[in-house]
Structure formats: structure tokens, C-alpha cells
């Protein structure tokens, strides 16, 4: 009893410290492009009661998440309020790591939550006004609830219906946040087969119904991602696989602990295979999506640290090894004093929109924006929007209409001959790289630089 009490206090201290790491410097850095989309949707909710953008288009993706974000913006305001919802999900992920450890590792239960609490990437994503942290939490919460009530036949709440309601809410919320959530039901079917396969199972009417439902969700995920699937498969999949592996699994000592953890976990073969299936199948599936972004595979960090924790829990002097590991990879894999300026990778283009729009706000000149969601969040909107392919794959119809853009209702500049005069242009580095050369030549000949900040500049064009 004394040990449990001690462990609960230590867990509370870990969670509180993890919240501190996620709250400190929460609004010090400007939002990057995806964050400004969510922040703009939440701002629209506060203005209209629904996520109706300035163009009149409703941004319905992850709508519950954005209502929660709007609530915290109302309380705290600005970037801090917009990002606070992810801090909550980050802290919940630390607690979920403890629950995983207690149920499936069963010894040295604080190692896994410590790894999650101090992970640099977990901290970074818990500081973002976007739903990546929420999805990671809900995705593995769904696994935890399902495995406990359907496989182990254990209760979470006093009433069975409450257990199943919790599972439904968790799975629905995952689907609500990301299309990848559709794969949860088919994976549950596979996990059930792994644990209870028999000829009798194949004739069970409830299992057949569950399997049909799983196939339906496979259809939904294929249908929802059909336009983003890559049919030139082999070269791109190999390239993306190498990029993801080098980003998430680049440290050989950690890989050794990971592999040993998987080997140690073989003691419970069915659980180990279930978690690996639940983690690896979506990881492989994302390799076939046309565009590359490290955030697509972010969820994989949870099982990554789970198996490292599993290994550490089985060796001598495990907490000493954990401390050495944290300090050996301090500044890269782990952080202990907060991250003021996150080192985002190239697939998460960051520019100091906050500084740029603070500079132009109040100007009498018309505004030309290379990223209009930032103009609606940090500024007073934009009059014109520069049209270019954001992904480089000509699939940005959602962003630019025939006349005005989606977020700011700004007039879309489709070619240089339509470029307005006497304007301020807010040009970020991503747009500068992807705009056609004739735009850059025009800026060089007709515009002067008025202001510059990280990866962004303000140009005055006569």
C-alpha cells in the first residue's frame, strides 16, 4: 500500500512536470501553417458560433476539437489559448503511458510515462494548435480500452455499458480527427482473430457482423484517401520509408533498446503481436500517401517509447540507465527545461507570421498574403492571395477558388499580369520557393523590402 501511494505521488509529479514543459514558452513562437488553419477555424467559431470562414465556407474538419480550442481561446486568448487544448492531450498521453505500463509491462511503471513526458517531439506536438497530439492519445486509448474489455475481459468502469460507451467515444473521436482513424475497427478485427482464432469463431454471428463492419471501414478509408494515394508506388514508398525511418529511428542505441523491448515482450506473444499490428500497419499504409510529412507518422512514438520502457523495466539499474539515456540524448530526443523555439522539420514550414502581421496591421495599404489563414489569425485579413501549389502536386483546390480563397475571402492572384499596385506583400519562405520565377522577378523589379523576420518578409510594391 505504501509503495502504491508513493508511486501515485511520483506519477503526479511526472504529470505536473510534463505540463510545465508543455506550458512554458507556449506562445513564444509563431504558429506554422497548419496551426493557423485550426486557429482560424476556432476564431470563426467565436465570431459566428460555427466555423464559418470569411469566404462563407464552413471548415468542418475536427469540429469538436475546434470548439474546444475556441473555448480556451475565449479564456486565455491568442496563441496560448489556441495551443492549450494540445497541452491537455499531452498530459493525458503521459497518464495513458502509465496505464499501459501498469497493465502490459507490469513493473517499473514510471519509466514509460517519464519517456513520454520528456520526449522532445511529444513536447513539441503538445504545444501545437492542431490535433496531432489529440489523435495519438485517442488512437492508443482506443487500443487500451478494446484490449482490456474485449480481449482480457476486464472492466474499466462499474457498468459494462460504460466500458463500451467509452470505446465508442474514443474510436469515434479518433475518426473525427483523422481519416486514419477508420482503420481502427479493421485492426480490432485482426487483433480479435490473433487472440481468439478458431473455427468456431468464424461462425459466430457477432464476430461476422464485427468483421463486416471492419471491411466497411476499410472501404471508407480507401475512399477518403483515394485522391492522395500514390500509384507510382515503389520509388516513392522506398523514399518515404527511408525519410521516416531516418527521422524517427535515427539513434542506434535507442533502436537497440527498442528491439530488445520487442524481444522481451514476446513473453506475451498475443499482446505483443496485437500492438505491433496496431502500430505497424498504419505506419506502412501512410507510406502510400502522395505527400510526405513527418507529422503523419507521429503516432508511432507511443509504441516506440513503450518498447524502450519494456526493455528498461527488465534490466538492472534501469532508472540509472534511463537517466543516462535522457542526458545522452538531451536536446535531440529528450528535453528537461522546455522548448522555446521548436526545431521543426522541412515538412512543417515555419515562418514568423506573428511578427510580419504585427508590422502591417493598421496599414492603409492593401495586403497581399502568401498564406491567408495567418492573415485572418494574426492580422485583419488579406485583400489578395497569391496562388501557388502548396504541396507541389497541384491538389490545392480546397485553398483557392476561381475568384477568392477559402480562408480570408481574398481575391486570388492567378498570374502576374493581375498583380495589384500599391500593396504590401507578406511573403513567406515556402511561397518564395514555390512561386514561379516570373513572380520573383516582378518582386525584384517593382518591390522594396520593408520588414523581415524568420522565413518571412514584407514587401512594398508600387
Are residue 454 and residue 364 in the same domain, yes or no? yes
Q: Are residues 270 and 396 in the same domain?
A: no
**Model confidence at 232: pLDDT above 80:** no
Q: Is residue 67 part of a domain?
A: no
In tens, the pLDDT along 358-392 reads 999 989 999 999 999 999 999 888 999 998 887 66
The pLDDT mean for the chain works out to 88
Do residues 268 and 397 share a domain? no
CB 405 within 8 A of CB 381: no
In a shared domain, residues 208 and 92: yes
pLDDT tens digits along 245-271: 888 888 888 999 999 999 999 888 889
Query: Looking at residue 338, what is its pLDDT?
Result: 85
With cut-offs at 50, 70 and 90, classify the pLDDT of residue 137.
very high
> What pLDDT sits at residue 1?
44
Residues 303 and 366 in one domain: no
Residues 131 and 88 in one domain: yes
Q: Where are the alpha helices (DSSP H) in 24-159?
A: 33-48, 63-76, 78-100, 111-118, 120-125, 132-146
Q: How far apart are CA 50 and CA 67, in angstroms?
A: 8
Q: What is the pLDDT of residue 113?
A: 98
Residue 50 lies in a domain: no
Contacts of 239 (CB under 8 A, 6+ apart): none
Band of pLDDT at residue 340, cut at 50, 70 and 90: confident
CA dist 332 and 105 (Å) reads 26
Tell me whether residue 58 is in a domain. no
Q: Are residues 320 and 357 in the same domain?
A: no
Q: 129 and 179: one domain?
A: yes
Q: Answer with the residue of higher pLDDT: 183 or 224.
A: 183
Read off the pLDDT of residues 418-458 as tens digits, 9 standing for 90 and up: 899 999 999 999 999 989 899 999 999 999 999 999 999 99
In a domain, 281, yes or no: yes
- Tell me: do 25 and 103 sit in the same domain: yes
**Among 278, 311, 328, residue at a domain's last position:** 328
**The pLDDT of residue 204:** 67
Domain that holds residue 17: 2-30+77-328
Q: Please check whether residues 12 and 142 belong to one and the same domain.
A: yes
- pLDDT (tens digit, 9 = 90+) per residue, 65-84? 999 999 999 999 999 999 99
Statement to judge: residues 383 and 315 lie in one domain: no
Q: What mean pLDDT do residues 31-41 have?
A: 95
Confidence check: pLDDT of 408 > 70: yes
Grid cell listed for 293:
510529412
Q: Which three cell numbers stand for residue 210?
A: 464485427
Number of domains in the chain: 2
Amino acid at each position: 500500500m505504501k509503495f502504491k501511494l508513493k508511486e501515485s505521488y511520483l506519477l503526479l509529479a511526472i504529470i505536473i512536470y510534463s505540463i510545465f514543459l508543455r506550458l512554458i514558452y507556449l506562445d513564444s513562437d509563431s504558429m506554422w501553417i497548419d496551426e493557423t488553419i485550426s486557429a482560424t477555424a476556432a476564431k470563426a467559431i467565436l465570431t459566428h458560433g460555427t466555423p464559418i470562414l470569411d469566404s462563407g465556407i464552413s471548415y468542418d474538419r475536427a469540429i469538436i476539437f475546434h470548439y474546444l480550442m475556441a473555448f480556451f481561446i475565449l479564456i486565455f486568448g491568442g496563441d496560448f489559448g489556441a495551443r492549450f487544448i494540445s497541452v491537455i492531450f499531452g498530459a493525458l498521453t503521459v497518464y495513458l503511458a502509465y496505464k499501459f505500463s501498469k497493465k502490459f509491462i507490469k513493473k517499473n511503471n514510471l519509466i514509460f510515462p517519464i519517456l513520454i513526458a520528456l520526449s522532445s517531439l511529444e513536447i513539441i506536438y503538445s504545444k501545437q494548435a492542431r490535433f496531432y497530439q489529440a489523435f495519438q492519445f485517442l488512437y492508443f486509448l482506443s487500443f487500451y480500452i478494446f484490449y482490456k474489455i474485449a480481449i482480457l475481459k476486464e472492466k474499466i468502469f462499474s457498468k459494462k455499458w460504460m466500458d463500451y460507451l467509452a470505446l465508442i467515444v474514443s474510436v469515434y473521436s479518433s475518426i473525427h480527427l483523422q481519416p486514419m482513424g477508420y482503420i481502427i475497427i479493421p485492426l480490432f478485427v485482426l487483433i480479435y482473430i490473433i487472440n481468439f482464432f478458431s473455427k468456431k469463431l468464424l461462425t459466430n454471428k457477432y464476430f461476422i457482423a464485427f468483421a463486416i463492419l471492419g471491411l466497411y471501414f476499410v472501404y471508407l478509408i480507401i475512399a477518403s484517401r483515394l485522391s492522395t494515394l500514390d500509384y507510382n508506388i515503389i520509388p516513392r514508398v522506398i523514399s518515404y520509408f527511408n525519410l521516416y525511418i531516418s527521422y524517427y529511428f535515427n539513434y542506434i542505441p535507442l533502436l537497440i533498446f527498442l528491439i530488445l523491448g520487442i524481444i522481451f515482450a514476446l513473453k506475451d506473444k498475443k499482446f505483443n503481436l496485437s500492438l505491433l499490428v496496431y502500430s505497424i500497419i498504419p505506419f506502412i499504409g501512410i507510406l502510400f500517401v502522395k505527400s510526405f510529412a513527418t507529422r503523419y507518422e507521429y503516432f508511432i512514438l507511443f509504441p516506440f517509447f513503450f518498447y524502450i520502457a519494456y526493455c528498461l523495466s527488465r534490466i538492472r539499474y534501469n532508472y540509472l540507465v534511463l537517466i543516462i539515456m535522457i542526458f545522452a540524448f538531451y536536446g535531440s530526443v529528450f528535453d528537461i527545461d522546455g522548448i522555446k523555439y521548436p526545431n521543426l522539420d522541412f515538412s512543417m514550414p515555419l515562418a514568423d507570421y506573428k511578427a510580419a502581421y504585427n508590422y502591417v496591421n493598421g496599414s492603409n495599404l492593401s495586403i497581399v498574403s502568401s498564406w491567408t489563414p495567418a492573415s485572418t489569425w494574426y492580422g485583419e485579413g488579406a485583400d489578395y492571395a497569391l496562388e501557388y501549389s502548396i504541396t507541389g502536386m497541384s491538389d490545392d483546390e480546397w485553398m483557392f477558388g476561381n475568384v477568392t480563397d477559402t480562408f480570408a475571402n481574398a481575391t486570388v492572384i492567378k498570374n502576374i499580369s493581375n498583380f495589384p499596385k500599391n500593396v504590401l506583400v507578406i511573403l513567406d519562405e515556402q511561397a518564395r520557393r514555390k512561386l514561379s520565377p516570373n513572380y520573383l522577378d516582378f518582386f525584384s523589379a517593382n518591390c522594396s523590402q520593408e520588414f523581415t523576420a524568420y522565413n518571412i518578409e514584407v514587401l512594398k510594391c508600387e
